[in-house]
Amino acid sequence: MTRRTGQRRWCRLAATGAWAALALCRLCLAADGTPTVNPAEALERPTVEVVGTSPLPGLGTDRKDVPGNVQIYTSGDLSGQRQSNTTDFLEQNAGSITANAAQGNPFQPDISFRGFTASPLLGTPQGVSVFQDGVRINEPFGDIVNWDLIPPSAIASIQVIPGSNPMFGLNTLGGAVSVYTKSGAEYPGGSAEVSGGSFGRRTAQAEWGGSRGALDFFLTANLFDDRGWADHNPSRVRQLFAKAGWQNEKSDLDASLTLADNTLQGTQTLPLSFLYDIRQAYTFPDTNTNKLAFLTVKGSRFVNDELLFGGNLYYRHYKNSSVSSNVNDDFGSLDPDSGEVDDVEATNDRSTITQSGYGGGVQMVLTGTPAAMKNQLTVGASVDASQSRFNQYSQDAELTAVRGTLPTGDFELATDADTDSRGYGIFAQNILNLTKQWTLTVSGRYNHVNVRIEDRTGNAPALNGDNSFSRFNPSVGLNFNPFEGLTAYASYDEGARAPTAIELTCADANAPCKLPNDFLADPPLRQVVSHTVEIGTRGTLKGMWHWSAAVYQTRLTDDIEFVSTSAGAGNAGFFANVGETRRRGFELSADGRFHALTVSAHYSFTDAAFRSAFLQSSPNNSSADADGAIQVEPGDRIPGLPRQVVKMRLGYTVTARLSVGVNLSVSDGVYARGDENNQDANGKLPAYTLVNLDAHYRPLKNLELFARVNNVFDRRYYDFGILGQNFFTGPNHTFGPAVGEEPVSEQFRGPGAPIGAWVGVRYSFGGGSAEGSADD
């Protein structure tokens, strides 16, 4: 298929989705009556008071009965601060969540929660499961999370659920993030907004929702264009979301369609010697194109006042095309077969992942009062299947004076493989109110996963493999509510993550891979198992101030790490079970209002450490031995994770028309990857403090003007590091080493964005109103 043919196909799909949504809109507007209320729609509402303790449609659970430090954010919170994407909002507002700039693009951050990561980068150990309307959207090929495929304007609420809650299935080692989308019944009316400013950024957003009787519809689209704050990191984002629903007092049925077509470029990390100019690229181009068509149907039905059946079905087609430029780490080495010196300076690696996933789930919720005790029993099952095709090509290239790559040969096929995964789950949860003060929660889930890999070329039969993983994960929690406004709880959870196809095919120390660009026939890995204990308390003072405190520990056995063997700041290595790791810490938070002032504050302490000894290949670590290896010992801290983070937001309503807000975040320094033994001479990256401002002005009821300034004091900061070799030691940072010479070992850092400012206008119509700051 040519690029133009592919674009036409995606345009036709987008147009079909838009026309279908408009047809549903007309159907809704032709009906008569008033909206109905259904308890199973609680998670779609602008004000959320229950927690979704299972991904499938259900009643949710009163927050006071949830044994965990759950965080909930609504559409008003997101729209009030006007960040460019959802991950920026989470980074600046949610407790125990951090982000880094490893990819060099604002839509592709690594998000870490309590020391566990949800990343778009293949090869990153994933430990957080992410859901959209009950469907797990960690891509089966690598468990990665493409944050750019979630349209922010479609979000009704986000719930951040800590721990290894088995109800959320595989990959929930450190927590789960559940995204619930808007419905027309809960978000009537429409709006349109445009904005622009620094880095050539231009955005447009529109939404329209409504209902007539039992029918409702919602439609939103986002356009984002940005040339990037650095050289060679522009972003082009196109997102469309449409939902139609039907509900009455007993039944609820929704069908939604998410479409996306995004092109994102990154800048890579930079060696310390380059950091006088953080806008330059180490090498380029590095481009990712993500395309998505995601269809979901979910519904529920009350058989009677005590019995609710719910379920969902989905189909998800995802395609990623990437081109990456890389310095040739083998430059100057002697080929043992030909006896010739490798004088290729660089390579262009092109890969494609084409993936189709489908599945669904059913669950039953039974409420009652056995022995005069309120009880809620949930029982369900789910099936998830996917087929992926992965192919990769490599091309020799030479480097220009500004470190771009010029091809010197044709692309040659390196890998062509099919992967197939099947996942089955059976789960149950029982929430029993022992008394008015005590609530006991017991749950468990059995998972079975099968991953099959098949070589398509016929040249690598050893690549073919069939791996299965099974486990039952239990959970128990106890809540104590001595009086209204105060809760104490304790919980114990277990979870598991099965190795992905990309890990299973790159697990041999004698044959390292270059991710995401190579598959090899390797020995199998063991699944990762998590054990989490959490104790906490939360409360409300005078109905306006909310606070919480929690301590936790998650211990992983058979943790999987990417063990680097790369000489450069690249991605060559292999996956291995490295024994035990541990994340433990505590969280404090408070928020409330004092007259016209609103305050929110979070403090988190995260101690993420290895608990087993192992050898890591890290020749650029100053403490490495003669073979380039470092010894990782129990107690060494896991790189990339800040130990302490403070976040604060202040909002002030100046007048009924004008409000302003400020976000302050302070982050501790982190160790660079490759410094797993914490002994490299470069030490940790420096700590940093950031301040962001936003303002909203409403000259008319339905008209809002808004402005935002990020990194107000233009602080230079770095939130990601990796040890590597700098090959650009020539004049003006041109390719430096001659044949037989060695490049320079350095610490590479991922710089954060400099100061940026944007202004915009939003107009609401058809019964809606301008969404101002959540601090209003």
pLDDT by residue (tens digit) across 364-423? 999 999 988 999 999 999 999 999 999 989 999 999 999 999 999 999 998 888 999 999
What percent of the chain lies above the pLDDT cut of 90?
70
Confidence label for 743 from pLDDT (cuts 50, 70 and 90): confident
pLDDT of residue 561: 81
**More confident: 615 or 714:** 714
pLDDT at residue 14, rounded to an integer: 44
Lowest-confidence region among 55-59, 318-322, 491-495, 648-652: 55-59
> Whole-angstrom Cα distance, residue 155 to residue 55?
16
Average pLDDT across the chain, whole number: 88
Per-residue pLDDT at 29: 41
User: Higher-confidence residue: 604 or 731?
Assistant: 604
Q: Are 446 and 471 in contact (CB under 8 A)?
A: yes
Question: What is the structure's pLDDT at 203?
Answer: 97
Q: How far apart, in whole angstroms, are the C-alpha atoms of residue 620 and residue 567?
A: 7
Give the pLDDT mean for 13-41: 47
pLDDT value for 522: 44
Say yes or no: domain 3-765 is CATH 1.20.1250.20.
Answer: no
**Residue 342's pLDDT is what?**
82
The predicted model gives 636-653 an average pLDDT of 97
> For the CA atoms of 46, 51, 54, 57, what is the dihedral angle to 10 degrees?
-30
User: Three-class SS of residue 767?
Assistant: coil
**What span, in angstroms and rounded, lies between the C-alpha atoms of 221 and 136?**
22
The pLDDT, as a whole number, for residue 511 is 55
Rounded to whole angstroms, the Cα distance separating 438 from 84 reads 43
pLDDT, residue 565, reads 59
Residue 768 above 60 pLDDT?
Answer: no
Alpha-carbon 567 to chain mean position? 29
d(CA 288, CA 147): 13
Burial of 722 (0-12, 13-18, 19+ CB in 10 A): buried
Indicate the Cα dihedral angle 61, 67, 68, 74, nearest 10°: 20
pLDDT band at 4 (very low <50, low <70, confident <90, very high): very low
pLDDT in tens, 519-569: 443 457 899 999 999 999 999 988 789 999 999 999 999 998 877 655 444
Please report the pLDDT score of residue 672 as a whole number: 95
Query: 40 or 127, which is more confident?
Result: 127
Cβ neighbours around 18 below 10 Å, total = 16
Mean pLDDT of 220-247: 96
Confidence band for 616, pLDDT divided at 50, 70 and 90:
confident
CA dihedral angle for residue 629, residue 634, residue 635, residue 637, rounded to 10 degrees: 40
Q: In this structure, are residues 703 and 763 in contact, taking their beta carbons and an 8 Å threshold?
A: yes
Range scoring the smallest mean pLDDT among 205-214, 496-505, 534-543: 496-505
Instruction: Please enumerate in sequence order all residues whose Cβ is within 8 A of that of 48, keeping only pairs 6 or more positions apart, or say none.
Output: 42, 72, 74, 156, 157, 159, 180
Checking if the pLDDT of 697 tops 70, the result is: yes
Q: How far is CA 47 from CA 110, 209, 541, in A?
A: 29, 17, 20
Q: Which residue has the higher pLDDT, 454 or 651?
A: 651
| Cβ atoms of 736 and 730 closer than 8 Å | yes
Sorting pLDDT into bands at 50, 70 and 90, what band is 512? low
Asked if the model's pLDDT at residue 197 lies above 80, the reply is: yes
Burial of 607 (0-12, 13-18, 19+ CB in 10 A): middle
Cβ–Cβ contacts within 10 Å for residue 641, how many?
A: 22
The H or E element spanning position 415 is strand 412-433
Higher-confidence residue of 507 and 127: namely 127
Q: Could you give the 3-state DSSP secondary structure of residue 64?
A: helix
Identity of the highest mean pLDDT range in 535-544, 732-741, 755-764: 755-764
How far apart, in whole angstroms, are the C-alpha atoms of residue 574 and residue 220? 42
Q: What is 637-686 written as a DSSP string?
A: BPTT--SEEEEEEEEEE-SSSEEEEEEEEEE---PPBT-TTS--TT-SPP
For residue 421, the model assigns a pLDDT of 93
pLDDT of residue 521: 39
pLDDT score, position 771:
54
Q: Which has the higher per-residue pLDDT, 6 or 95?
A: 95
pLDDT on residue 740: 56
CA distances for 167 relative to 178, 179, 290, 439, angstroms: 12, 16, 29, 18
Q: What is the mean pLDDT of residues 688-702?
A: 96
* Residue in this structure with the two tokens 């791996």, named with its chain if needed: 467
Distance in angstroms (rounded) separating the CA atoms of residues 94 and 346? 41
- Summarize pLDDT for 429-471 with one digit per residue, the tens: 999 999 999 999 999 999 999 999 888 888 777 677 888 999 9
The domain locations on the chain are: 3-765
d(C-alpha 266, C-alpha 231), whole Å: 9
pLDDT higher than 50, residue 15: no
Mean pLDDT of 508-513: 57
- Which of 243-257, 296-310, 457-471, 665-679 shows the lowest mean pLDDT across its residues? 457-471
Q: Is 175 a residue whose pLDDT tops 50?
A: yes
Could you please report the per-residue DSSP string of 184-228?
TTTS-EEEEEEEEEGGGEEEEEEEEEEEETTEEEEEEEEEEEE--
pLDDT for 312: 96
Strand, helix or coil for residue 261: strand
Q: Please, what sign has the CA dihedral across residues 164, 170, 176, 178?
A: negative
